[in-house]
Chain A
């Protein structure tokens, strides 16, 4: 494929699926500046890998893999000390990423999602995007059964986290 065709094909596909990148960034980046950096990094990595994309899987599946892999394993800067999130920090993250029509309750849920670990966040992103367990298995490499168990645990964890926050603990 010629470079210009590759370029056009890539832009068309990414523009059609850019929502995937926004969503991954909104869950993994801690602030607006990180979100922009991560967005750029995902686009660069997707462009570099696009030549090898053979179309065996759906483009959205491939883009999810690239985006999540970049977000969890290739992007984050090493921190000298562990980051401790306060409720204020989490609210701030939630405020900058919340879609229109959000209530205080949804804000609490977004904050709770931010407290999940990296892999749980990936599963939540895929779940919220309506992916089937089969698709989630292809993207994450976690078996269907294990994903179902994890999903149940995540829902319980979120329920607990939102309850704690509404109780002010």
Chain B
């Protein structure tokens, strides 16, 4: 049998009895269970953590004022704030990714572009953040901003640099691996689909 001969039978498949069991008016109010929807929910939940962090920090900030905070507190706040920012960006990205409009090729290319740009930005911004933090730590020791960091200042400078370098490099590879785990398989699958179009 050739594909042409299937057309008539195919037209009949639109009136399959099982299909009428689905209630469209009811379905549109349900929650999606797709992997992207699950991920979107995960990032949305992460957004709720930030107000809790603010409350946690607020007491200390109100008590000691902004100038009375140690570098460690600022660094911790910086890391938590950047995590919040990335959850927000991830959430927005997933909302855009889940838009299924546009032709198939455009849609696939858009998804790959958005994901690769996001992974690239995430990796470099995070690494940049850790470099800034290491620099801040060095400055605080040099200008005696924060006495709580004296232990760090007692370590010899070359060793401090080696530790910082090892930490930033390690962090870069850990983040790279986590990005691959989070979206890597999906990007590979999208690229595979794009190659099927050629």
Chain A interfacial positions (CB closer than 8 Å to B): 7, 10-11, 14-15, 18-19, 22-23, 26, 32, 36-37, 39-41, 43-45, 47-49, 52-53, 62, 65-66, 68-70, 72-78, 97, 99-103, 105-106, 108-109, 117-120, 122, 124, 127-130, 138-142, 154-155, 158-159, 162
Query: Contacts A102-B9, A158-B3 hold; do A14 and B24 have CB atoms under 8 A apart?
Result: yes
Q: Are A44 and B27 in contact (CB under 8 A)?
A: yes
- A69 cross-chain contacts in B, Cβ below 8 A: 100-102, 104, 107
Q: Is B33 an interface residue (CB 8 A)?
A: yes
Q: A73-B107, A128-B10 are in contact. Are A43 and B101 (CB under 8 A)?
A: no
CB atoms of B1 and A106 under 8 A apart? yes
Query: Is B55 in contact with chain A by the CB < 8 A criterion?
Result: no
**Contact check: which of A77, A100, A141, A159 meets B197 at CB < 8 Å?**
A141
Q: Which of B7, B104, B185 contacts A72 (CB 8 A)?
A: B104
A73-B108, A155-B3 given as contacts; is B197 within 8 A of A119 (CB)?
yes
Q: How far is the CB of B99 from chain A (nearest CB, A)?
A: 6
- Tell me whether chain A's interface is mostly helix, strand or loop, or mixed: helix
In the complex, are the beta carbons of B7 and A101 less than 8 A apart?
Answer: no
Residues of B9-45 contacting chain A, CB below 8 A:
9-16, 18-19, 22, 24-25, 27-28, 30, 32-36
A162 to B24, CA, bound (A): 36
Contact B196 A162, beta carbon cutoff 8 Å = no
Tell me how far the C-beta of B87 lies from the nearest C-beta in chain A, rounded to whole angstroms: 21
Q: Which residues of B contact A78 (CB under 8 A)?
A: 35, 185-186, 189
Residues in A whose Cβ lies below 8 Å from that of B63: none
Interface residues on B, range: 35 or more
* Complex alpha-carbon distance, A47 and B100, angstroms: 11
B9 x A40 contact (CB < 8 A): no
Query: Are A99 and B13 neighbours in the complex by a CB distance under 8 Å?
Result: yes
Instruction: List chain A residues, Cβ under 8 A from B186.
Output: 78
Complex Cα distance A106/B2, Å?
9
* Chain B 69-113: CB-based contact to A (< 8 A → 1; otherwise 0): 000000000000000000000000000011111111111100100
- Cβ-defined contact, B14 with A66, below 8 A: no
Cβ distance A67 to chain B, nearest Cβ, rounded Å: 8
Contacts of B7 in A (CB 8 A): 128, 130
In the complex, the answer to whether B16 meets A66 with C-beta atoms within 8 Å is: no
- Neighbouring A residues of B30 by C-beta, 8 Å: 40, 44
Task: From B6, B103, B185, give the contact of A109 (CB < 8 A).
Answer: B6
List, in ascending order, chain A residues with CB within 8 A of B9's CB: 99, 101-102, 106
Q: Tell whether, in the assembled complex, residue A65 and residue B101 are in contact, meaning their CB atoms are under 8 Å apart.
A: yes
Q: How far, in angstroms, from A53 to B99 measured CA to CA in the complex?
A: 12
Residues of B within 8 A of A75 (CB): 34
B22 touches A36 (CB 8 A): yes
In the complex, are the beta carbons of A140 and B107 less than 8 A apart? Answer: no
CA distance A142 to B198 in the complex (A): 8
